[in-house]
Amino acid sequence: MTEHHLPSQLEVSPAAPDRNLALELVRVTEAGAMASGRWVGRGDKNGADGAAVKAMRSLVHTVSMNGVVVIGEGEKDEAPMLYNGERVGDGTGPECDVAVDPVDGTTLTAKGMANAVSVLAVAERGTMFDPSAVFYMDKLVTGPEAAEFVDITAPPGVNIRRIAKAKKSSPEDVTVVVLDRPRHEGLVKEIREAGARIKFISDGDVAGAIMAVREGTGADLLLGVGGTPEGIIAACALKCLGGTIQAKLWPKDDEERQRAIDAGHDLDQVLQTDDLVSGDNVFFVATGITDGDLLRGVRYRAETATTQSLVMRSKSGTIRQIDSTHRLSKLRAYASVDFERPR
């Protein structure tokens, strides 16, 4: 396990999430990754997602917190578990908002492609943005070096040049992460005209955002329209990593636009990191399902599995990378989760 500590850790009030939550939370994403990992490459994204949801729900109710799922499987997925508004935790700990994505990258998992992760974020109660059924947002994400210079309302070329200047490089050195979608045809053209490189991702919005912030991934910026829930989860990660996410809600049709207006949203507002999650004591955990730029995927042996996870806390600035070996027979005994191959 490797750790990186940024300056000081303060004690928290009993009403706030406690630092001891970190290792409890990573057990949840490890369970999700190991359960969905059995479905890697099998062509069944619903099977992978369902396995992760079931495993994570079983484990999350053992965590010492009084949580409410603010960002969950949600209305879009018509999910029976880990849905928005569901209470999670054992009810004994602090009041928390919970954001969960059992499989960020279900298609990646189904196809055996890189960067599928299982993610969970926790913050003080009432601090996570409620998207009110607006499923998509236009996003800009970049790291600490250029955070104060970018502006989502500016053309992509402007932001690319600003990032290059902040990093003392040229636009040709900037790599932009973009979801590979037809709606981004114009964006892709503008990025290439600015001279920057593009790293396309087919799914995995949360991992893509973290790649744009974390050193060593080769990415400098994420642009384009992706899921609103994933944007809020990414904001939780950015509270721990530094950098910025800027976003504007992107209703997909007139009905969703009206629903957003009725809910009081200003569709012209640029949402900053603190608008998406205002808390100062945020936990973010992710466990790799498939190998990727951020994490190694699950490895299975006859009776064991190994996982790699990222565990972060905004209040202390601590970032941990945790490599774990799991005895599957012992996990089955206490977790009531089936980590066997799907039949």
3-class secondary structure per residue, 258-324:
HHHHHCCCCCCCCECHHHHECCCCCEEEEEECCCCCCCCCCEECCCEEEEEEEEEECCCCEEEEEEE
Q: Examine the pLDDT at 336 and tell me if it is beyond 80.
A: no
Mean pLDDT of 52-79: 83
The angle subtended at Cα 243 by Cα 238 and Cα 248, nearest 5°, is 75
264 marked as binding residue: no
With a cut of 50, say whether residue 11 has pLDDT above it: no
The answer on pLDDT for 98 being more than 50 is yes
pLDDT tens figures, 271-309: 999 999 998 899 999 999 999 999 999 999 988 999 999
Check whether 183 is labelled as a binding-site residue. yes
Average of per-residue pLDDT across 249-275: 93
pLDDT band at 79 (very low <50, low <70, confident <90, very high): low
pLDDT (average), residues 242-258: 94
Q: Is 182 annotated to bind ligand?
A: yes
* Least confident piece of the model among 11-25, 135-149, 168-182, 185-199: 11-25
226 token code pair: 């992706």
Examine the pLDDT at 214 and tell me if it is beyond 60. Answer: yes
Is 157 annotated as a binding-site member? no
Q: Is 73 annotated as a binding residue?
A: yes
DSSP 201-241: ESS-HHHHHHHTTSTTSS--EEEEEEEHHHHHHHHHHHHHH
The annotation status of 87 as a binding-site residue, yes or no, is no
pLDDT at 10 over 70: no
205 is an annotated ligand-binding site residue: yes
Q: Is 301 annotated as a binding residue?
A: no
Establish how many alpha carbons lie within 13 A of residue 128's alpha carbon, considering only the half-sphere containing its beta carbon: 34
Tell me: is residue 193 an annotated ligand-binding position. no
The answer, yes or no, to whether residue 335 has pLDDT greater than 80, is no
Is 268 assigned to a binding site?
Answer: no
**Would you say how long the chain is, in residues?**
343
DSSP for residue 183: G
On whether 197 is known to bind a ligand per the annotation, the reply is: no
The answer on whether 102 is annotated among ligand-binding residues is no
Tell me the domains of the chain and their CATH numbers: 18-126+282-332 (3.30.540.10), 136-276 (3.40.190.90)
Pairwise pLDDT comparison (123 vs 336), residue with the higher score = 123
Residue 107 among known ligand-binding residues = no
pTM score of the predicted model: 0.88
Q: Residue 14 — very low, low, confident or very high, per pLDDT cuts 50/70/90? A: very low
CB 125 within 8 A of CB 97: yes
